[in-house]
Structure 1
């Protein structure tokens, strides 16, 4: 048999050598990548009736700030030999990659993405995870910067409006410079770091737009404050724009803070699913019973489950019987009777009886872990409209920078010829340049659809409804009929009083009895 398989594989165009190991179901193949690529090879193998197993894994991506980053990360990873599919989600900051471990390793993926200015990490499903703690810390720092820049913004705007109503100890421009500088270089530090990273790796993103826009206003205002003679303009025509740079940074920080809150809120469903599983189990080992953390359990461990307790992991009953609430797994509200030999699932609730069970599935093989994986895959999926948005975002930033420079040159050259401008042509052109850069930040392109998918799939999971992904959600609007398998899926099985109707004569007799 394996000789025949070797001939089949060796007969493929571009294959020089093939040796099949029937015992461990592996094959060593040498081929010419100029004739048949690593991406084509698995498809050719499938045509022969064989299958090369691919690994589908979700990773965390650090460093993405806008929709253009999504397109850049996807292009970088998909260009690697051994990667068959990649989907990047800005809202979850995750990349779901399908790849062949025999052709490419995690270190290869990490190194390639690192060369593009991003960091790749394996997702850790423990709760609270290191990743979750990092996000909480980053959000706290972002909030602190937002508060500082907001206070400065309010003060700068206030003294700018009231400068003629009270005397100042220093020149107003110098005061504005002192206030704006920490906002520009401390609160706005992350934008400069992103700009530098983009320069190093040859790309432009939202950080480029914000950095160039605010720096233009800040540097121009600094020159006006300390070296006004360089501009060769009448003093009354020279203004400063420290308030512009400060307000822009404040508003962008506000947007990022709200964005981070929206991401955390939208991902609450997965975190709550992770919290469903008990942390410990009562294990029978030898003649003693002891509480053991679920991470220390092994297959075939004997676990005791009492009435009212959550079942810690998936297993099979070998002693006792009970009724179990499996609504978290199946959506069925009516408890299910369980006897010896029946399967039970982690995070479901034991209602009435006492039983003993053996552990059958742990870790990523457990039912709850599979549900979490389904929800994460759904949240990481892309609706067709998002794929279009990501394509647009890929060329959006360079296009906007070009339009901004065109606006600057146009107003600098023709400003006074086509409009009455109270300031110099250069100052007006600078404000037009900044306006185009700042107003065109592509955040919404990358966040709107994935955030909606996260919220929809997350809320569905909380209600016991598993949604396969963004494409399924988008197709829901075309549905005209929904079919449910049985009554228990929709009802709770707990009757309650809907209304009380009394005979008028009896009602009058009851009232008389009260008196």
Structure 2
């Protein structure tokens, strides 16, 4: 039994009984030997067997008991992570660190996110765990500007690779000349005639032989020794990372790309070195044995070139999120101690008074306290026209103040701001995996051992049955198989596409929560559209007030009806309620205090005002209760047929009026519906309005299927019914009355407003409120998943075809053996092609 102890910070305890509940829950958890919870300190000391349980399970136990457990998250970069065949060993090593709850690594961004219990572990312990599995931690991503840190690290990586490649390339040129001098001495070398590179070099060697005829050439032994010496710096410095990685993997019983490159080039160099220093060992060759120094330097040069180009390409995959983060204001003018000072934008804290002059970026989210202006919010909303702002209005950070000078009180800063939340959502999405990646992860986990087995089998087969010199021939086949294999392409196929796809989506005002959501979105075949706020603007206004008549035959005054209706509706946040309250204020109607108030789901509201029972209800509910509508009934039906929403104002069970509310249809709605249909999707509209009103709106935008007079809770039932029919359903709504349906759908698409972007029930958020963005989201998801499938296809095909060719299956037919140099070029290209193919998503344009 391996006993461990941890201190868990417990949140939400309000008495000693709470502590006892948590302690009992922890004490009954499997693997826990002892648990003591201190209510005064808010901590739980737990002794447990780490072979039977894990910190994550302890934290979940606390949460299952109804309390919180304080956790923290740290993000850091890991060098060369994208070349690992699988991130599972790294994640498992980090999870074994005491205090770590979860660890998730992303090969595309080379970042690792670790969730841990504060005080239970240290950054040093995490770094040791990373190093124990053969990786190296780069500098931690700074919380204040992680994207800048990532950019600097990427720039440093490119510079280092450039210098290493330059050295390897220079040595390769010299080595090729040396190889041709050696071939000039023995141009009929058997192996060089079947080696593909040799076929290219022999004509040059013959010309060189002719040119040097009668002039004498250096002793081949000195040429070989010189090549051995100049190749050594390439191995030690340019390719040192491969050998260090291979050795580390050997010590920890793991194998990855470094193993293949290190063993392949190492074997070639050692063979050549032995052939140089002790040529007598190769008595069966019948001549001076060949050496492959030029192949070693060329292989390392080509691999470094591939990694250099790949690093540059991968740097472009995260440009979208860097552009988003770059929208932040770098400086801010704040008032502190009565004086205006200029500080960095990230130094603003909630409560600061911030002065923004015309033409300046607003540094943080806030509320205007002084002045008036017009603000360009196109960065978030896509609307080109500036929006007027006055005292009391909210403004969003990173938008531009265009006309007057304003002073605002900072409310949300940094990651809590609207822009910060957008960046965080995109980063979170880019750190997730799509379900399709599981297959690649499984293959990558066993890939390297299989390749090594194939290489050994090829060596044995050609040593026994191959042409002379069999040892040299079989060694080249072994090296070529090890070099050509590429698990990197499999590991990069999915995350790079998700990285570019979600980044492109963010540029288009679409926030996709995860790779899994992206996958589900690509499979959608049925789209449900909520009417209010999705098809319509979501800004309803009162257009008609038709009042009943008094006993003496005179009609009730509209102002009196508005007084009763708006007084009770002021307690509601429903868009129709806001329209009635707004109409009352525009007519200078004084509202009365509400004594009691109750919501009736899908039916309306009821309240007591001035000892009267006031109800504002739907036409359907009025008829269900058999209220006497009189002449107002036909008026309500006529207004509904015109696409307006009639609501009935009832005072003490007497119908006072019909109030017609109109919500303009979005200009883009009809086009969006047409695009959905063109993509082969079924489109259905859901509405709580009366059927005739809903039908009028549906007809105007081109929707054939509608479900009207539906309660908010019934929308989720409709989604479930369609799912039982085997349909993949996307629900598009504004989140006000359709959160259950958004959560139930295969993909919930919430239309935001630019400030409310964190709708928990949705998988996708459309920041700019344009329904065409939902079309774009589906198109982009299909394109991204298609790119992932193509990446995986070529990654698999490359290895399935390339490895047998490298093993020599074509030699009996064509008498050609693939050169290790060409194998290294093919391997470098395979990884680069996956990244470049993913980068094509940056050119995606909505239909």
- Interval of TM-score (by shorter of Structure 1 and Structure 2): 0.7 to 0.9
Deviation at 1:302, TM superposition (A): 1.6
Q: Secondary structure at the match of 2:397?
A: coil
Q: Of the two structures, which has the highest relative contact order with CA contacts closer than 8 Å and spacing of 6 or more?
A: 1
The alignment covers a number of residue pairs equal to 484
Q: Does 1:458 align with 2:500?
A: no
CA distance in 2, matches of 1:221, 1:107: 42
Q: Does 1:6 align with 2:22?
A: no
Q: Secondary structure at the match of 1:377?
A: helix
Deviation at 1:92, TM superposition (A): 0.5
Q: Secondary structure at the match of 1:164?
A: helix
Alignment gaps of 5+ in structure 1: 493-515
- The structure 2 residue matched to 1:84, chosen from 101, 125, 131, is 101
> Could you list the per-position Cα deviations for residues 72-108 of structure 1 after superposition, in whole angstroms to 9, with x for gaps in the alignment?
2112123344433322111101012233336444443
CA distance in 2, matches of 1:17, 1:456: 47
Q: 1:445 to 1:67 in 2, by over 3 A?
A: farther
Q: Secondary structure at the match of 1:309?
A: coil
Deviation at 1:333, TM superposition (A): 4.6
- The structure 1 residue matched to 2:162, chosen from 113, 130, 143, is 143
8 Å CA contact 1:411–1:425 kept in 2: the answer is yes
- The structure 1 residue matched to 2:140, chosen from 93, 117, 122, is 122
- In the alignment, which residue of structure 1 is the partner of 2:694? none
8 Å CA contact 1:70–1:88 kept in 2: the answer is yes
CA distance in 2, matches of 1:243, 1:424: 19
Q: 1:192 to 1:282 in 2, by over 3 A?
A: same
8 Å CA contact 2:358–2:402 kept in 1: the answer is yes
8 Å CA contact 2:141–2:149 kept in 1: the answer is no
CA distance in 1, matches of 2:308, 2:299: 14
CA distance in 2, matches of 1:38, 1:184: 43
- In the alignment, which residue of structure 2 is the partner of 1:28? 44
Q: 1:106 to 1:220 in 2, by over 3 A?
A: closer
- The structure 2 residue matched to 1:328, chosen from 353, 356, 379, is 379
CA distance in 1, matches of 2:74, 2:97: 16
CA distance in 1, matches of 2:54, 2:259: 37
RMSD in angstroms over aligned alpha carbons?
A: 2.9
TM-score w.r.t. structure 2 length?
0.53
Which shows bigger deviation, 110-119 or 272-281? 110-119
Counterpart mapping for 1:336-347 below 5 A: 336-347=387-398
CA distance in 1, matches of 2:43, 2:231: 65
Deviation at 1:474, TM superposition (A): 2.1
- In the alignment, which residue of structure 1 is the partner of 2:63? 46
Q: 1:401 to 1:283 in 2, by over 3 A?
A: same
Q: 1:142 to 1:201 in 2, by over 3 A?
A: same
Which shows bigger deviation, 42-51 or 138-147? 42-51
- In the alignment, which residue of structure 1 is the partner of 2:152? 133
- In the alignment, which residue of structure 2 is the partner of 1:185? 236
Deviation at 1:351, TM superposition (A): 2.6
- In the alignment, which residue of structure 2 is the partner of 1:415? 465
CA distance in 1, matches of 2:169, 2:335: 59
8 Å CA contact 1:310–1:346 kept in 2: the answer is yes
Which one has the bigger strand percentage?
2
- In the alignment, which residue of structure 1 is the partner of 2:247? 196
Alignment gaps of 5+ in structure 2: 1-13, 181-200, 536-665, 669-767, 773-847
Deviation at 1:310, TM superposition (A): 0.7
CA distance in 2, matches of 1:345, 1:48: 39
8 Å CA contact 1:65–1:206 kept in 2: the answer is no
Q: Does 1:476 align with 2:521?
A: yes
TM-score w.r.t. structure 1 length?
0.84
CA distance in 1, matches of 2:159, 2:53: 51
Q: 1:143 to 1:360 in 2, by over 3 A?
A: same
CA distance in 1, matches of 2:441, 2:270: 33
Q: Secondary structure at the match of 1:92?
A: coil
- The structure 1 residue matched to 2:92, chosen from 51, 75, 86, is 75
8 Å CA contact 1:273–1:372 kept in 2: the answer is yes
CA distance in 1, matches of 2:231, 2:128: 38
- The structure 2 residue matched to 1:58, chosen from 50, 56, 75, is 75
8 Å CA contact 2:82–2:491 kept in 1: the answer is no
Greater CA radius of gyration, 1 or 2?
2
> Could you list the per-position Cα deviations for residues 135-187 of structure 1 after superposition, in whole angstroms to 9, with x for gaps in the alignment?
31221121122233334434544663222323244535455445534433332
